[in-house]
Amino acid sequence: MKPITKRYEVLGDDFTHAGEASGKVKSMLRQLGYNSDAIRRVAIAMYEGEINMVIHANGGYAEVSVYPDRVEVLLSDTGPGIKDIELAMKEGYSTAPDEVRALGFGAGMGLSNIQKYTDDMRIESQVGVGTNMYMTILAQRPE
């Protein structure tokens, strides 16, 4: 079956809008009657990714494709890129600025959380060019 594909702009200039795209995806999945655990995992993983894009990359876009058995998300930005992906994936590692930490973000849990909630994730990044993050969330997680 052809997926439902939606594209959302993630505005980088205003931190207060962060999290809007994942919120919209959540209500769409609920209307579709998607598995509620999968909805939760999509919403959290995408939220974390969205926050990262706003903090580090001045925004970008999110493209979400909904299949009956899975949700695929692409988060794409033209930000500074990630120098060392393996290091960035480590729990607690963060390069977030202080003003963002003051809001409770930047604990260095974003990427590891995404990994935890998705069934597959892949990061393509080039320093100075940007980052593409692909994630897949299965409607039913294998036991």
Partner 1 sequence: MSLYYHSVTLDEDRCKGCTNCIKRCPTHAIRVRDGKARIISERCIDCGECIRVCPHHAKRARFDDISRLKDFKYTVALPAPTLYGQFNNLSDIDYVLTGLLNMGFDDIFEVSKSAEIISDATRRLIKEGALKTPVISSACPAVVRLIRVKFPELCSHVLPLLSPMQAAAIQAKGEAREKTGLPLSDIGVFFITPCPAKVTDIRSPIGIDASWVDGAFSIADIYPVLLEQMNKIKTPLPLAHSGIIGVSWANSGGESSALLQEKYLAADGIENVIKVLEELENERLTELEFIELNACPGGCVGGVMAVENAYVAKARIQRLRKYLPVSLNHVEGDSEMRRYGWNAPLEYAGVMKLSDDLEEAMRMMEEIDRLYKLLPDLDCGSCGAPSCHTLAEDIVLGDAQLNDCIFILRQEASSAGIALSPLFGKKMKKEGTINDR
The interface region with partner 1, picked from 34-42, 53-61, 79-87, 128-136 by CB under 8 A, is 34-42
Query: Is 7 among the residues that bind partner 1 (CB under 8 A)?
Result: no
Residue 138, interface with partner 1 (CB under 8 A)?
A: no
Residue 45 tokens read as: 């993983």
* Pair 81, 132: CB distance under 8 Å: no
Query: Measuring CA to CA, how many Å separate 16 from each of 4, 32, 48, 56, 89?
Result: 28, 28, 14, 15, 25
Member of 13, 14, 16, 33 binding partner 1 (CB under 8 A): 33
Spatial strand order of the sheet with 59-66 comes to 4-11, 59-66, 70-77, 130-138, 120-126
92 lies in the site for partner 1, by CB under 8 A: no
Listed ranges 10-18, 28-36, 79-87, 125-133: which one lies at the site for partner 1 (CB under 8 A):
28-36
Q: How far is the CB of 102 from partner 1 (least distance, A)?
A: 15
DSSP 31: H
Note the residues at the interface with partner 1 (CB under 8 A).
1, 4, 6, 19, 22-23, 26-28, 30-34, 36-37, 39-40, 43-44, 47, 66, 68, 104
